[in-house]
Amino acid sequence: MTPSADDITNFLAFAPEAGEGKAFLFLEGASTVEEAVGQFYEDPEKYTPKPAPSKTDSVKQPPMDTKTQSGPPQYAPPQYAPPTNTVSRPRHRPHTNPVIEAGNIRARDEQEMQNELQRVQLQYRIYNSDIEPEHDTEYYCSCAIHRYQQRKWNRLGVQEMWAKAVMYPGEKFYHDCYQTNFFNSNPYRYRVVSPFVGNQLSPFSGMRNGYGAYGIPSPNPRYYTQSVRQTIELNAALNAEAQRDIDSKEPRVNLWEAEKLESSISNMTLEDDQVDDKKRPIDEKGYPVEKGSAGKRQSIAGPSSNGNSTASKPSKFAGLKKALAIKSTEEKESDRRAKAIARGGELRNSILYEENGRWPDQEWRQIVAAYQEKVGMTRKIAHLRAHQPIQYLHLLRAGYFEPIPVAWANQASNPLKFSIEAAAGWRGITPAWRGYEDTAEERLYWVLNHREGSAGVRMKPDLISAMNMARARMASAVEPPPVYYSPNDICHVQHTSEGYSKQVMPAPFRPFDAPETPTDDTMILLDVSGSMDFDPVRPNYNEYLITGYSRSTQPKNKDIAKAVIRRFTDAMANHDHNFQGYQMTTFASQANYIGVVNHRNLDNMWRNVKLGGGTRVMTGWQKVKELHFQKHSESATHHPVYGWQAGPQTPMLRLLLLLDGEATDMDEFELDLLSLSWVHVTIFLIGVDGCPHHHRHANELQRISEVNHHVAFVDAQGNTPERFVTHELLKRHLGYDVTMAEFEELEQPPPYVE
């Protein structure tokens, strides 16, 4: 190829140590930028003139050629040829690929569109997050639904760009904007019923506010249930089909055994390639060839009567075939082999290009290798690279094999916050992406299912299964143990209602992490989103459709949180004699460091707690990590993309996290925790009495705690027995079974000294 200035710039983005001169030479000897970069990392000195050796010259070893290597060792992270020159990190340009570029464009208005949908749903009293309002008219309508739909249709270009970046070979792009394209391959269009079918008009019917003469329909409980069931079945069928398709397209030879690649492909026969009967080879007379009983190929017309093989005679149609450019069986097979070799080489170079672009130096690769080891995916990733390279490259481009960049924590929208909508055509990353709510949930379950030691496949519960399990858990609640009664509990002081609410008893405590040591740090992370200050309400269900909300007689969540924090800090001060207190950070849409809280200053410090906003736990988690590593920076290192990396001597962080519901980025938080061995998180989940949503979230936290022993949780609903909750929190926070006698000693007000 003739290199352009852009080609040289792209080359240097992934191999800055080469310089423009080498970039030009490697590009000139290749057909694509990817191929040129791959050649450079295979042999950086390929185009460097070799001086004539002299007697005094020491014998130099030739540069390593990765083509002659037998590939990466099994169950080990990939190895790369180191750069010939040491390059400072600031010279590395930000890596990019189609997934990153499409993600950057989609992130510009992703959160805004999600917020707009929630506003429209609330306006028309649609409380299930997966139901989009419908309003069909034959004339112009300026209602909020049509304005939202118009904005959605205006994103078709973004949607198509994202789809093309994450689609697997053979898949087709589709969407749900039928007004813009009648011919659409959306598989959900005629196979899933609308949840609005067969219902009466809502109270919004009429000409008021431009809603239209035919009114706005509201969802029907029966049809909504039918719609959900049909979607679940279709998701499962399409996921299985997509996984089979991509598995069948994977190369059947190891791309990294370069010296065997050509010989393996050249020895492949048409039968090895499982050619169907319509594509079987034909002889020179045009007859299909079958295997004889002796294993020889014979014409179905039988052997030659004179004993000579008919293949030895020139074909009567040889000239005609040549004139029509009809290739012989041998020519076709030779072409197929050449194409297979070319595809394999191109795929291998694309992987090398992506790996060296994402992880440009040895420090980068060490962090990535450590992440894969801690998450427990080293073997799976090595297997993908060797045996399923198409899927490996796909997940590699999406960042599945490396830590979450710290910059994402404070972004309103990042590639782990993108919604997945199977019926609308907004795709995920893995072949079986249908059924997940967002890309973070999809990646979390992919990791859980491919970690070493995983027992069976952990499927994300569908909506119906999740709700049924939540209702079963809610029905298992019992009266809390009377021994924990306290007249000072907030529910008794405020007299919201009589007695404690029934509670779901936690499983007997089992220690997994090492018990707390004097060097461990205790911190508090508090959810201060708007719901903490709301009057508690619970949803009313008709089957699986939410029809409204009812008031619950219990204290506000902020009051319960403050009371539990007071009891917890008092007990911890008596335990570790840290009477100065513990650092507390709050989070909603943003994080805010409150300061060090203790028994004496909690009321004053609480005045700095500002309530309101969304629930983005990653903003608070990032702030907590910064506080922890600022204190212990001498034992850790900092990476510009992946942030702080704990060292062997970094003390353990023990975090108490108080939530009153599911954070919008909870899956991202749980995913980040899977790779960290220096933190133990104990979650207190505050819930509304009789609320299935609370128990659905509790079930999810239970599943996470079962696979990540660095996470534990305790939940309570309604009128909360605070002493019971505090005792259970202390067991999990301290890592040992605190007896009742010890707890009664710890919960006494600590003897603070001046």
Q: Which phi and psi (to 5°) does residue 636 adopt?
A: -135, 170
Task: Tell me if the domain spanning 492-746 has CATH number 3.30.70.1710.
Answer: no
Residue 353 to residues 42, 54, 90, 294, Cα–Cα distance (Å) = 11, 37, 20, 49
Q: What does the pLDDT read at residue 141? A: 84
CB of 64 within 8 A of CB of 81?
yes
| Site of tokens 């850790």 | 636
> What is the rounded end-to-end Cα distance, in angstroms, of the chain?
77
3-state secondary structure labels for all residues of 211-241? CCCCCCECCCHHHHHHHHHHHHHHHHHHHHH
Distance (Å, rounded) from C-alpha 721 to C-alpha 294? 83
b (16+ CB within 10 A) / e for 712-751: bbbbbbbbbbbbbbbbbbbbbbbbeebeeebbeebbeebe
- Residue 297 pLDDT: 36
Q: 337-345, long-range: CB within 8 Å, 24+ apart, which pairs?
A: 337/265, 337/266, 337/268, 340/251, 340/265, 340/268, 341/261, 341/262, 341/265, 343/251, 344/251, 344/253, 344/255, 344/261, 344/265, 345/261
Strands 289-291 and 679-687: unpaired
Q: Which ranges constitute the DSSP H helices of 556-638?
A: 557-576, 602-606, 617-631
Helical axes 19-28 vs 33-42, angle rounded to 10°: 110
pLDDT of residue 134: 86
* CB burial readout 91-122, b (16+ within 10 A) else e: ebeebebebbebbebbbeebbebbebbeebbe
- Specify whether the CB–CB gap between 389 and 352 falls below 8 A: no
**269 phi, psi to nearest 5 deg:** -105, 175
* pLDDT value for 315: 55
Find residue 282's DSSP bridge partners: 288
Closest CA to 474 of 678, 240, 244, 688: 688
CA distance 281 to 27: 40
Structure tokens at 469: 């399990």
- The pair of three-digit structure tokens given for residue 654, joined into one six-digit string: 């023990």
Every domain of the chain and the residues it spans: 93-282+333-460, 492-746
Q: Sign of dihedral through CA atoms 603, 609, 611, 616?
A: negative
Task: Report which of 601, 579, 249, 293 is spatially closest to residue 394, judged by C-alpha positions.
Answer: 249
Question: Rounded to an integer, what distance in angstroms lies between the CA atom of residue 375 and that of residue 676?
Answer: 8
Q: What is the largest CA-CA distance in the chain?
A: 116
Amino acid occupying residue 250: E
3-state secondary structure 313-366: CCCCCHHHHHHCCCCCHHHHHHHHHHHHHHHHHHHHHHHHHHHHHHCCCHHHHH
* Spacing of C-alpha 61 from chain mean position: 44
- The pLDDT assigned to 254 comes to 82
The pTM for the full model equals 0.78
Residue ranges in the chain modelled with pLDDT below 50: 50-91, 200-214, 269-280, 282, 285-312
| Distance of alpha carbon 502 from alpha carbon 477, whole angstroms | 5
* pLDDT at position 594: 95
pLDDT for the residue 298: 36
The per-residue pLDDT for 71 is 35
Q: What is the pLDDT of residue 296?
A: 39
Contact 743, 727 (CB under 8 A): yes
> How far is the C-alpha of 551 from the C-alpha of 537, rounded, in Å?
4
The sign of the dihedral angle between the CA atoms of 208, 209, 211, 213 is positive
Q: How far apart are CA 672 and CA 667, in angstroms?
A: 9
Say what the pLDDT of residue 260 is. Answer: 60
